[in-house]
Structure 1
Amino acid sequence: MKKTLLFVFCINLVFAQKKQVDLLVHHAHVYTVDTKFSKADAFVVNDGVFLEVGNYSDLAKKYSAKSTLDLQNKPVYPGFYDPHSHFLGLGQMLSQCDLVGAKSFKEILTRLQEFRKANPNQEWLIGRGWDQNDWDVKVFPNKDDLDQIFPNVPVMLTRIDGHAMLVNSKVIQMAKISPSSKISGGDVEVVDGQLTGILIDNAMGLVKRVMPKEDEKVKRQQILAAQAESLKYGLTTVSDAGIGQDDIELMMKMHKEGSLKIRDYAMVSVGIRNVEYFTKKGIIKTDRMNVRSFKVYADGALGSRGAVLLKPYADQNSNSGFLLTSKNEMDKYFSQIYKSAYQVNTHCIGDSANRLVLDLYGKYLKGKNDRRWRIEHCQVVNPADVPKFGKYSVIPSIQATHATSDMYWAEERLGKERVRHAYPFEALRKQNGLIANGSDFPVEFVNPLFGFHSAVARQDNNNWPAGGFQMENALSKENALKAMTIWSAYANFEDKERGSIEKGKMADFVVLEEDIMTIDLSKIRSVKVNATYIGGEKVFTRK
C-alpha cells in the first residue's frame, strides 16, 4: 500500500512540475527559418507566442498542454507574409465583375452583361482584371461597345495592373473629360481627335473623384472578404501598399473588436496632408497593425507603357513612359520623411525610375544604414544601378509572379538586350543578402505559393517555359521561403517579433498538405493549406 501511494505521489509530482501551456504541436516537420534554418518536430505555444521549439519527447516531459495537435508529419512554416499587396483593393475587387483571364474584349462584354443581370441595382458597373496582352489583338480596347450595351450606366473597368482603365461615355460626361484634358503623370488617350475611354495612371483620378463614396458597412464587408481569401492561402501578415487615414482607423477598430484577425503593414499613401499628419503623430504600432511607412509612386506599369525607361519602348519608339510623381516632389517627400522615423517605399518599374529613386535615396541615406527604405517591384534595373541597393541598404521588394506574367511580351516592350536586365531577383538579393517577395494582389493571384514557385522555377502555372525564364536570377528554395517569411518581416521592421518559429516570437504558422521544400517544382502551385494560425489561434482550416 505504501509503495502504491508513493508511486501515485511521484506521478502527481511529475505532472505538477510540468508547465501549463495552451498548445503543443508535435509530429510535425517544422521549418523554423531561424538563422541556422534549423528544423524541429514540435513546439509549444502559450499566450500567443512560441514558448519553446524542439524535440517532441523533450517538450512532452516539460509541458502539459490544454490542447495538443498531432500533425502526422505534415510540414509547418512560419506564417506567410505578403510585403506588397493591396488588401483593401482585394476586398473591393471581390465585390466587382472579375475580368481576370478574359481572352478577348468580347468575353469581357459577356461577363459584364452577366454581372449586371445578377446585380441590377448597383449604381455603377465596375470591373477589374482585363489585360490586352492576353488577347489575339494586343491593343487597348475602346468605349464604343460599352456605349452601345450600357448607354445609361456608368462603366469603369480597371486594367489588371491598376494603372489604366476603360470608361464609357456616361462616365466621361460625369467626369467632364474632353480630348483637351491634360493631367501631370497621366494620359487621356485620344485617337483621331476622339476620346477612346482609356485613362492611364493619374488620369484615372478624374473618374475616382466622381464615384460614389463607400460607407463603413460596405468597407467592413470588403475587408472581411479580403481576410477570408488571404487566410485560406496561409497569409498571416499582409500589407496595404497605399492607404489612407480613414481606412487605417477602420481596420484598427476591427482589430480591436476582434473581427479582423490578420496582421497588416500599412503603407500610407504619400501626400502633403498624410505626410504631415503621420510624421507628427509618429509610428503607430499594435500587435495587428503597423503604420510606419509611406508609399510613393515613381512611375506606372510596363503593361500599359507607363513605366519610365532610359530609352524608348522597343514597340513604341516615341514613348519612354512618364513619372507619376515629379523628381522635385519626390525629393521634397523623401527629405521630410527622412527627418522622421518613417520608411519610404517607392514604386519603381522602369530602369529610369529605379535609377532616379536610388540616387534620390542615396542623397539622404548616404551609405549603409538601418532605415530599411524599399523599392517596390524593381522590375527593370540597369546593371550599373544594381550595386546601389547594397551601397544604400535599400531593400528590393519584388513580386516574382510579375516576371512569369510578363515574360510572354516583356521582350517586345524592352528589346532583346534590355529584357536581360529585367526581374533580376538573385542579383538584387546578393546586394544586402535578402529580398522580400510578395504578390501585389489583386494584380496577381493571392496565393503566396505562386510567388514561391515563380521565384524558384521562373515558370507559369503550366510550368512553362521548360527550363525557366532567365534562370540566372532564380532564387533557391531556402531563400524563396525566407523571402516570404523572415526577410519580409525584416522589410517591415518585424523580424524581432515574427517571421520565424522561434522562442518568444508571435505564434503565426501555417500547415501545408505537402512539403514545398521537397516536392517537385511542378506541383508547388497545387499544394493546399491545411490550417492557418495567428497568435496561436486557428483562423482557417481546410474542410
Structure 2
Amino acid sequence: MRILRLIGIVLLMLHSATVFAQTVFFHNFNGYTLTGNPGNEAVLVKFDAMLIRDGKVAAIGTLAELESVYGALTKEQRVNLNGKFVLPGLIDAHGHVLGLGQNLMLADLRDATSQSDAVAMVAKFAQGTPGADWILGRGWNQENWTVKQFPSAESLDEISSDKPIYLTRVDGHAAWANSKALEIAGITADTVSPDGGEIIRDAQGNPTGVLIDNAMNLVEQKIPATSAQQQEEALKLAFNHLLERGITGVHDAGVDALTLSVYKDLAAKQNMPLRIYAMLSATEPKLPELLDAGHYVSADDKLTVRSVKIYGDGALGSRGAALLKPYHDAPDQHGLMVTSQERIRELYELIIPHGFQINTHAIGDRANRIVLDEYEHAFETIGGRNLRHRIEHSQIVHPDDIPRFKELNIIASMQPTHATSDKNMAEDRLGKARMKGAYAWQTFEKQGTIIAAGSDFPVELADPFFGLHAAVTRQDRENQPEGGWYAHEKLSLEQALRAFTLDAAYAAGQEQILGTLEPGKWADFIVLDHDPFAREAAILWQNTVNATYVAGKAEYQSK
C-alpha cells in the first residue's frame, strides 16, 4: 500500500503547478477501499486523504504523506469532510433503471398486506390520476399477504370496469389485471397459454386475472408505448433516486433500442450523472443491428454497451423458476423456460462472435444447468470463454453445478436481498433438501467465483446498504431470523463490499477504471455519517449517505 501511495505522489510531483490547478484535495475523513486484483486476493486498506485530478484519483494516503505536495494548492481546492467516512462508489450489478423510474410514477403495492389492502392502494392512486388511460402499478406479493393466494380480476373490477388496470408482481414475472384489461388483450377461456407463460384459470377454466411470464405480453403489447421524452423523464427520476443511495454505477439488465437511444442522447449531452453498463435485451428485434454496430463506450465512461441480457426462466415466487424436480408445494409444476434451450443456443451463436458479454437470467436449478450447458457448448464450438459471461441471479443451483461456474469462468451475479425477501417461501417452494445450493454466496466465494452484487431493483428496493446488510447477516431489517437464515452462507463485510465495488466492476470489464479508489481510476465515491466497519451488523442498513461523487463531482449532497 505504501508503494501505491508513493507512486501517486511521485506522479503528482512530475506535473508541477499545472496539475495543482486541476486538483482537488479531500481530507479529514476515514476512508476504505479495496486494492489489487478482483476476487479474494484483493486487500482492504484505510486512508484519510485523497487527491483528485481531472475527475480521477491521483493519490491516496495519510494526511502527512500527501501534504508533501499539498502546499501549492489553494484553500478553494481543499474539501474538508469533517471526520466522515468514505467508500468507493457502490455499483449495483443488476438493476432496471427505466423500470425504477417508471415505478416511481406508478401505484406502489410493495407494502400491501392483503388483496383488499392492495385494491385500496390502487383505488387511491387512481383517484389521483383521473386522466390516465390505464391504471398501472407494481409491487404486489401474495406471499406477504395474510391469505397467500393469487388475487382476482373481480377485486380490481370494483375500482373500474371500464378502464384497464394492470399491476405487475414485485418480481416482474407475474401480473394482475382487471376484466377490462383482459378484454382488451382478447384473453378468454379459449385463449391458449403461450410458450413460456401461463394464464391462471379458475375451476371452470376462466382466466382469473393473473398472468405468468410470457402470458403477460398479451396485455403489455396493448399498453401504449412510452415516448423517448417520457423515458428520459423516468430515467432522470431513477438517477436521482440511485445517487441519493450512494449508487454511482448500474448494470442495466435489459435495454431495448429506444431506451438505448435515450441513453446515448443523454451521454452525448453529458446529462448522465452516474455510470450505466447497459445490457442489450435479447428480445429486441433490432438486436442483430445493434450487435453489428459493435461496442459503445462514451468518452467519459458514463455509458458502456458491450453485453446482452437473456431471460432463461421465471421467478420462484410465481413458481416460474425452472426446476429439475417438481415444486415442493405444487407437485404438478416444474416452472417455465421463458427462452427455450434451443433459442438460448441460437442467441449464444449470434452474440459471441460479435465479442459481446452474455448475461443470462437463471433462477431455478434446471435453468442454471441449461445455461451452464449452453455456455460450455459455445466455448467448445465457437469460443468466447474470455468474455466474462455471467449468470444473473444464480439463485438455486444444484450442488453438482456450483463448481462448473469456476471451471467455465462464469461470474455469479447475485442479489443479497433476494434471500431475505424469499426466506419465508423458499423452503415451501423447494423443500429443505434443495436449499443446499440456494443463495449459496459463501460457497461461490470460497471456490473463487467472482460475485457481482446488486439488488434487481425495482423488484427489491435500490438501497445498496440493504444489500450489504442482508449479505453479512442473512437477516431482514427486523433482524429475523435470529442468527441468520442459512447463516453459513453469509459474507464478511469486506467480501460484500468487494461484490458491490471491485468485483462488480470486473463483471463489466471495468476494473481498470472503476471499483476502487486507486490512482488512475475515476474518483467515484460516497461520504457516510457512520463507519460501516465499526457499526453493529444489525444496523448496517441504516447508513446515511451524505454525498455521492462521480468523477470527483458532487452529484448528490444531503440537505
Q: TM-score, normalised by structure 1?
A: 0.95
Structure 2 counterparts to residues 89-168 of structure 1, below 5 A:
89-168=99-178
Q: Give the % identical residues.
A: 39
Structure 2 counterparts to residues 371-410 of structure 1, below 5 A:
371-410=387-426
Counterpart of 2:52 in 1: which secondary structure?
A: strand
Structure 2 counterparts to residues 439-458 of structure 1, below 5 A:
439-458=455-474
Counterpart of 1:27 in 2: which secondary structure?
A: strand
Counterpart of 2:517 in 1: which secondary structure?
A: coil
Cα offset, 1:409, TM superposition:
1.3
Q: Does 1:290 align with 2:304?
A: yes
In structure 2, the residue matched to 1:416 is 432
Q: Does 1:247 align with 2:264?
A: no
Q: 1:43 aligns with which of 50, 58, 66?
A: 50
In structure 2, the residue matched to 1:10 is none
**Residues 268, 274 of structure 1: 8 Å contact kept:** no
Counterpart of 1:261 in 2: which secondary structure?
A: coil
Q: 1:469 aligns with which of 467, 479, 485?
A: 485
Cα offset, 1:368, TM superposition:
10
Structure 2 counterparts to residues 113-512 of structure 1, below 5 A:
113-181=123-191, 182-191=193-202, 192-271=204-283, 273-286=285-298, 287-366=301-380, 369-512=385-528
Structure 2 counterparts to residues 72-87 of structure 1, below 5 A:
72-87=82-97
Counterpart CA distance in 2 for 1:160 and 1:208 is: 16
**Residues 368, 393 of structure 1: 8 Å contact kept:** no
Cα offset, 1:204, TM superposition:
0.7
Question: Which segments of 5 or more consecutive residues in structure 2 lack a partner in the other structure?
Answer: 1-15, 37-42
C-alpha distance 372-17 of structure 1, shift in aligned 2 (>3 A) = closer
Counterpart CA distance in 2 for 1:16 and 1:208 is: 59
Counterpart CA distance in 2 for 1:491 and 1:514 is: 28
**Residues 409, 449 of structure 2: 8 Å contact kept:** no
In structure 1, the residue matched to 2:24 is 23
Counterpart of 2:285 in 1: which secondary structure?
A: helix
Counterpart of 2:428 in 1: which secondary structure?
A: helix
Amino acid at match of 2:490: A
Q: TM-score, normalised by structure 2?
A: 0.92
Q: Deviations over 1:12-45 (max 9, x none)?
A: xxx9698333311111111121123222111111
Counterpart CA distance in 2 for 1:344 and 1:360 is: 11
Q: Deviations over 1:261-313 (max 9, x none)?
A: 11101111103734311221111111111111111111000000000001000
Cα offset, 1:70, TM superposition:
1.5
Counterpart CA distance in 1 for 2:449 and 2:137 is: 40
Counterpart CA distance in 2 for 1:197 and 1:538 is: 46
Counterpart of 2:230 in 1: which secondary structure?
A: helix
Question: Which segments of 5 or more consecutive residues in structure 1 lack a partner in the other structure?
Answer: 1-14
C-alpha distance 17-428 of structure 1, shift in aligned 2 (>3 A) = closer
**Residues 412, 449 of structure 2: 8 Å contact kept:** no
**Residues 252, 279 of structure 2: 8 Å contact kept:** yes
Counterpart CA distance in 1 for 2:448 and 2:111 is: 36
**Residues 404, 459 of structure 1: 8 Å contact kept:** yes
Q: Deviations over 1:86-114 (max 9, x none)?
A: 01100010000010120011111111111
Q: How many residues align?
A: 529
Counterpart CA distance in 2 for 1:340 and 1:214 is: 30
Amino acid at match of 1:493: G
Amino acid at match of 1:527: N
Counterpart CA distance in 2 for 1:368 and 1:322 is: 27
**Residues 188, 203 of structure 1: 8 Å contact kept:** yes
User: Does 21-30 or 503-512 show the bigger shift?
Assistant: 21-30
C-alpha distance 18-240 of structure 1, shift in aligned 2 (>3 A) = closer
Amino acid at match of 1:467: G
**Residues 18, 62 of structure 1: 8 Å contact kept:** no
Counterpart CA distance in 1 for 2:20 and 2:271 is: 31
Counterpart CA distance in 1 for 2:391 and 2:447 is: 13
Cα offset, 1:537, TM superposition:
0.5
Counterpart CA distance in 1 for 2:556 and 2:478 is: 28
Counterpart of 2:148 in 1: which secondary structure?
A: coil
User: Does 419-428 or 406-415 show the bigger shift?
Assistant: 419-428
Cα offset, 1:338, TM superposition:
1.7
C-alpha distance 16-337 of structure 1, shift in aligned 2 (>3 A) = closer
Counterpart of 1:382 in 2: which secondary structure?
A: coil
Cα offset, 1:432, TM superposition:
3.1
In structure 2, the residue matched to 1:7 is none
**Residues 179, 188 of structure 1: 8 Å contact kept:** no
Counterpart CA distance in 1 for 2:500 and 2:539 is: 19
User: Does 246-255 or 364-373 show the bigger shift?
Assistant: 364-373
Cα offset, 1:421, TM superposition:
2.1
**Residues 307, 359 of structure 2: 8 Å contact kept:** yes
User: Does 298-307 or 248-257 show the bigger shift?
Assistant: 248-257
Counterpart CA distance in 1 for 2:523 and 2:549 is: 7
Counterpart CA distance in 1 for 2:323 and 2:17 is: 68
RMSD: 1.6
Counterpart CA distance in 2 for 1:18 and 1:143 is: 65
User: Does 106-115 or 388-397 show the bigger shift?
Assistant: 106-115
Cα offset, 1:333, TM superposition:
0.6
In structure 1, the residue matched to 2:12 is none
Counterpart CA distance in 1 for 2:428 and 2:503 is: 33
Counterpart of 1:315 in 2: which secondary structure?
A: coil
User: Does 495-504 or 62-71 show the bigger shift?
Assistant: 62-71
**Residues 88, 524 of structure 2: 8 Å contact kept:** yes
**Residues 255, 261 of structure 1: 8 Å contact kept:** no
**Residues 50, 503 of structure 1: 8 Å contact kept:** yes
